[in-house]
Chain A
Amino acid sequence: MDQNIRTTAGPTHEEMVSLRRRTWPWWIDLWIQLVKTKPLATLGLIILTFFMITGIFSTLIAPEGVNEAHTERLERIEGMMIVSSGTMVIPGPSIVPFHPFGLDNVGRDVLSRIIHGARVSVIVAVGAVALGVGLGTLVGILSAWLGGAADTAIQRIVDAWLTFPTLIVLIVVVTLLGHSPPPGFDRLGLDTDQWAMFKIILSLGVVNIAWYARIIRSAALVIKEQQYVDAARALGATGFRIMGRHITPNVMAPAITLATLGMGGAILSEATLSFLGYGIPPPNASWGGMLSTTGQLFIYQAPWLAFFPGVAVTLVVLGINLLGDGLRDLLDPRLRGQT
């Protein structure tokens, strides 16, 4: 007899098989569902994975060092002084020797610098999102749980915080944090370059807390009214236990979506800040900075200097947004269109 013919009220064989598969933990099942049902989000997942691996292993992957220069390949032209330093011909993209994205104005391989720049983007994105979503979740859950006057006060601060234009606040905060690290920063084993990265992570994280807190709060408010929370309270659970054991796991779904979309935003913001000169200082490689320092001066002679770093930013942010959209559709359709 064919196994798929429904003979009784119970599930068919195939349904049993699929039910058994469903016994994955939800956070693994999520990715399986994503790959099965969302081709665009899967593409985004692939881009994100590729970007993460590139960033983490950049020193192994990059064909050349971040400041390794082929000065001999730069050709100087006497008497052709453009603006400040355009006195040379910069070799463009070539396969042999292997410089597919060309060289920059001091003879460094652009591809290698983009790969090294990916590390900056990975660190900033992960750091800022971890900080922002972490604190945002904390504030959001607390606000929802406490309710009443405390909730109102927190939400008014969030309101005020949200009236500031994000990028402008970032510029002000980064400027106030200063170029040189505070005393004692070197005791962490970090130097001035890492301070530049640290202050961007700090300001990006802190500036976005308000957004995260607001969305997590609305999710937590729904969960707070669930019967299992009442049940836990009836059993004598403390507020902290309920927040930690019952509410936090249940706001993980919007938190994951926010974290994914937030990473794209963080990468864009870091690139924009570096472009404006508030970010990672040269000679370190950063995608925005590559467009700013070298890209702008030599852009008309060597358009590839500005082109490829921008492509990298766009592709990665596009991938992350696609993934974020897919995750949101699966996890929390209510958020659709809000980000």
Chain B
Amino acid sequence: MGQYAVRRLLLIFPTLLIASLIVAALLRVMPGDAVMQALRESRGGVSLADSKEGLEIARAKVGLKDPFLVQYMKFVFGWPVQDGAVYQSKDDGNSWKPAGRIHTEPIDSLDFITTAKGIGIGGKFIWGTKDAGQVWTAFHLDDIVLNSVTYGDEDNVWVVGDEGTVLYSPEGGFRRHEGQQTFSTFGPQDSGTTARLLAVDFADFENGVIVGAEGTILMTSDGGVTWQSVDSGVDSDLVAVTLMDDGATGFAVGRGGVLLTTRDGGGTWASEPLDTSNDLLAIGIDNSANVWVVGAGGLALNSVDGGLTWQEKELTYAGDNGELRTVGSDINAIAFGVIEEETGQTAGFASTSGNNILRTLDGGLTWERMSSLISRRVGTDFVEESLNRPVRDFSIKITSQGKVRLYGATSDRIWQWGVLGGDWGTTILGNRSVWADLARAFPPTLQLMIMTVVVSTAVAIPLGVLSAVRQDTVADYLGRFIAIFGLAVPSFWLATLILVFPAIWLDFSPPLEYVGFNESPVKNLLFFALPVAVAGIFGSASVMRMTRSMMLEVLRQDYIRTAWSKGLQERMIISRHALKNAMIPVITIVGMQIPFLLGNQVVIERIFNIPGLGRILVEGTSTRDYTLVQGIVFFLSFFIIVSNLIVDLTYGWLDPRIRYE
């Protein structure tokens, strides 16, 4: 037997080798996204550049041997309110698709500083993305409703909200990681007012303007260290503000047909005399001369001399049957951007409450309607009523300055042969040792695993025996039903129900704070009770079925009949003669369960907030931390191989006839 164990142990290595080759193949064939993200955050320095000089930057910064073109794309971003989805067009606005999702709704404001990096505001949340909206993470949660976000430059971000709130982050809004913990980098700035602040814009990282309710205007020329209140001369709510790149010219618009202009970076504001009293909602700047302001009831104002004189325009577009149609509903947003770098061609987009997106390619002379949104007629009304903010069915931000080349490279950091020698590297995010992360996350996972196997086997084997011995009775049917139900019910659903319904009906909620076994064994076991119960239902189902069918087979054998005829007690026959012989396939099933249980534990750990391997796997994949993910996959494979070995060795103890040749 000793020799057998050694041979089984030696088998681990070819299996591990093949397993690692599979992982290597997976990582190798998917260079674009994976490598790009990994490089972007790799500790050796940023090698991704979204400019024409990307190749040179990539070469210079990290000394990459063989950079290659990863992607070549054009982006237009927008956002509707429904479900917090962010919609994105990669073809200059011809088609719109959800780019990613944010788990809150609605999104009220969005700003991108590069094609990849952007921040969105929804309710009290600040969300951010580093990968062009594929994955959004909550960066900050405040007590106050937040209204608007703007980038000054790549590092400096401002967010404004109700009750005079101004939040500022010097790190691009992104969270700071310290060990396991993450911190918001947003901190408050003193605005000196308690008015609702509705919009913010910065020309660079120093000069900015905030507008808000009842004619509030604040300006700063030192990056928000001091904000000074400016007299606007109006008392209606100002809902949008734009500062041009020169830092001097700026526009602000508001309810009741208010349009303000500044020529000195926000220090003094002049009100334009307008014929209309419609609410003005958004400002769009095509170039320093061509400026658009849009508002309620299809109102559009255009200035072709940089805001000196304004003309009212009608936005017309070709309808479905080719007839010319005029926009009559509210125009909620307008934005312009360069889409062809070589020719300087710009595109402008406007969105209306009818959920149309209009596009112009000639500075606003002619408009065409692009595809209507996937989410028709959702959200318009209640946003306006309850939030009393500008209705934004669909707003648009053009982020790219034309075609963008993103360069990445095959890097030695992604895959290291040293993995086979025990060097599992460090995590891409945070630069921690992968081993340390695994060592921290493994105990809860192992404990859950062992408890689940023990509990489910302890429940399943007696149930299976009972079911077989009392075949075709009520107990049998009940047992079989529970087993087949346990295989069909999704664990995440069962876990959710177990958390929710006792909370609603009995006002009972289980502990969801993980406590280590060393700290307090009692609390630890209490914490694990529910997760183990849920995981156990899944785990015990197939063990029970196997026990039942094996027992039925064994009970028909001659030696059982002999035992009966010799007058042995039922208890004796079942425990001594039948059960032990039926156990081998059952033990196999218990062993084969382990990969499934581990997979299932990802869900269980997520719902019950257990800091185990499953949870760091989910975090690792969502942040594209490939070294960590690779480490987890290896570790779990190794774990499963070892557990299979233990199961194999158990056979010999159960059935001495097995010789291990």
Residues of A within 8 A of B (CB): 67-69, 71-72, 74, 76, 78, 81, 84-85, 87-88, 105-107, 156-157, 159-173, 175-180, 182, 191-193, 264, 268, 271-272, 275-278, 281-283, 288, 291, 293-297, 299-300, 303, 306-307, 309-310, 313-314, 317-318, 321-322, 325, 336-337, 339
Known: A69-B377, A193-B97. A293 touches B83 (CB 8 A): yes
Given contacts A163-B595, A171-B618, A314-B488, contact A295 B496 (CB under 8 A): yes
Q: How far is the CA of A296 from the CA of B500 in the complex (A)?
A: 10
Name the residue of chain B whose CB is nearest to the CB of A153: B18
What are 26 of the A-B contact pairs (CB < 8 Å)?
A: A68-B377, A72-B381, A74-B382, A76-B386, A78-B386, A85-B122, A105-B105, A160-B19, A161-B22, A163-B595, A164-B22, A165-B636, A166-B595, A167-B599, A168-B602, A170-B599, A171-B621, A179-B135, A180-B33, A268-B488, A276-B618, A281-B98, A282-B101, A293-B83, A307-B497, A322-B484
Q: Say yes or no: A85 contacts B105, CB within 8 Å.
A: yes
Nearest-Cβ distance from residue B630 to partner chain A, whole angstroms: 9
Interchain CB contact under 8 A, B493 and A291: yes
For B30, give its contact among A88, A160, A177, A339 (CB under 8 Å). A177
User: Is there contact, CB below 8 Å, between B500 and A179?
Assistant: no
Question: How distant is B71 from chain A, measured CB to nearest CB, in Å?
Answer: 9
Q: Contacts A87-B386, A88-B382, A178-B32 given; 18 further ones with Cβ under 8 A?
A: A69-B82, A74-B382, A85-B105, A106-B379, A163-B595, A171-B618, A172-B633, A281-B101, A282-B98, A283-B82, A288-B490, A293-B101, A294-B83, A299-B496, A303-B500, A317-B487, A317-B490, A321-B487
Quick check: which of B149-157, B172-180, B542-550, B559-567 contacts chain A, the rest being far away? B542-550
Name the distance in Å between B81's Cβ and chain A's nearest Cβ: 9
Are B489 and A314 touching (Cβ within 8 A)?
yes
CA distance A290 to B229 in the complex (A): 47
A272 pairs with B33, CB closer than 8 A:
no
Instruction: Please pick, from A167, A299, A325, the residue contacting B484 in the complex, using a CB distance under 8 A.
Output: A325
Q: Could you say which residues of chain B place their CB within 8 Å of the CB of A172?
A: 26, 621, 629, 633
Q: How far is the CB of B10 from chain A (nearest CB, A)?
A: 13
Inter-chain contact B493/A337, CB cutoff 8 Å: no
The answer to the question of B303 belonging to the interface, with a C-beta cut-off of 8 Å to chain A, is no
| Whole-angstrom distance between the Cβ of B359 and the nearest chain A Cβ | 19
- 3 closest cross-chain pairs (CB), A and B: A167-B599, A310-B493, A160-B18
Give B403 Cβ to nearest chain A Cβ, in Å: 15
Which B residues touch A191, using CB under 8 A? 95, 97
* Residue B380 lies at the interface, judged by CB distance under 8 Å to chain A: yes
The count of chain B contact residues (Cβ–Cβ below 8 Å) is: 87
Contact: A69 with B492, CB < 8 Å?
no
Inter-subunit contact A283/B501 (CB<8 Å): no
A317 in contact with B488 (CB, 8 Å):
yes
Chain B residues within 8 Å of A193, by CB: 97-98
A304 CB to nearest B CB, Å: 11
Report chain B residues within 8 Å CB of A192. 97-98
Interface of chain A: mostly helix, strand, loop or mixed: helix
| Those of B321-353 within 8 Å (CB) of chain A | none
User: Which of B83, B123, B600, B606 has the most chain A CB within a 10 Å cutoff?
Assistant: B83
B595 lies within 8 A of A337 (CB):
no
Is B60 interfacial (CB 8 A cutoff)?
Answer: no
Are B545 and A106 touching (Cβ within 8 A)?
no
Measured CA separation A69–B105 after assembly (Å): 15
Residues of chain A within 8 A (CB-CB) of B19 are 160, 163-164
A168 contacts B18, C-beta separation under 8 Å: no
What is the predominant secondary structure among interface residues of chain B facing chain A?
helix
Residues of B504-550 whose CB lies within 8 A of A = 504, 542, 545-546, 549-550
Given contacts A69-B377, A172-B633, contact A165 B595 (CB under 8 A): yes
**Residues of chain B in range 607-661 having any CB-CB distance to chain A below 8 Å:** 614, 617-618, 621-622, 624, 629, 632-633, 636-637, 640-641, 644
Decide if A337 touches B549 in the complex (CB within 8 Å).
yes
Q: Taking the nearest CB of chain A, how far is it from the CB of B631, in angstroms?
A: 12
Contacts of B113 in A (CB 8 A): none
Q: Does B103 contact A (CB under 8 A)?
A: yes
CA distance A176 to B31 in the complex (A): 9
Bitwise interface map of B from 357 to 394 toward A, beta carbon under 8 Å scored 1, else 0: 00000000000000000111111111001100000000
A165 to B485, CA, bound (A): 22
Contacts of B282 in A (CB 8 A): none
Tell me whether B18 and A156 are in contact (CB under 8 A).
yes
B574 within 8 A of A: no
Residue in B closest to A84 when the chains form the complex, CB atoms: B104
Asked if B379 and A84 make an inter-chain contact with CB atoms under 8 angstroms apart, the answer reads no
Residues from chain A with Cβ under 8 Å of B101 in the complex:
281-282, 293
* Nearest CB on B from A260, distance (A): 13
Instruction: Tell me the nearest residue of chain A to B595, going by C-beta.
Output: A165
C-alpha spacing A84/B550, complex, angstroms: 52
Given contact pairs A165-B640, A293-B101, A176 touches B14 in the complex (Cβ within 8 A): no
Evaluate contact between A337 and B550: CB separation under 8 angstroms.
yes
Which residues of B lie under 8 Å from residue A339 when comparing CB positions? 542
Asked, given contacts A164-B595, A283-B85, whether A85 binds B487 with beta carbons under 8 Å apart, the answer is no
A173–chain B nearest beta-carbon distance, Å: 7
- The residues of B that contact A307 with a CB separation of less than 8 Å are 497
Chain B contacts with A in 565-583, Cβ cutoff 8 A: none
Tell me whether A275 and B637 are in contact (CB under 8 A): no
Asked whether any CB of chain A lies closer than 8 Å to the CB of B247, the reply is no
For A156, A157, A165, A295, which residue has the most chain B Cβ atoms within 10 angstroms?
A165
Closest A residue to B34 by beta carbon equals A176
The answer on a CB contact under 8 Å between A313 and B490 is yes
Inside 8 A of A337's CB, which chain B residues have their CB? 542, 545-546, 549-550, 585, 589
Asked if A314 contacts B595 (CB within 8 A), the reply is no
Give every chain B residue within 8 A of A178 (Cβ-Cβ). 30, 32-34, 134
On chain B, the residues within 8 Å of A182 by CB distance are: 32
Asked whether, in the complex, the Cβ of A106 is within 8 Å of the Cβ of B484, the reply is no
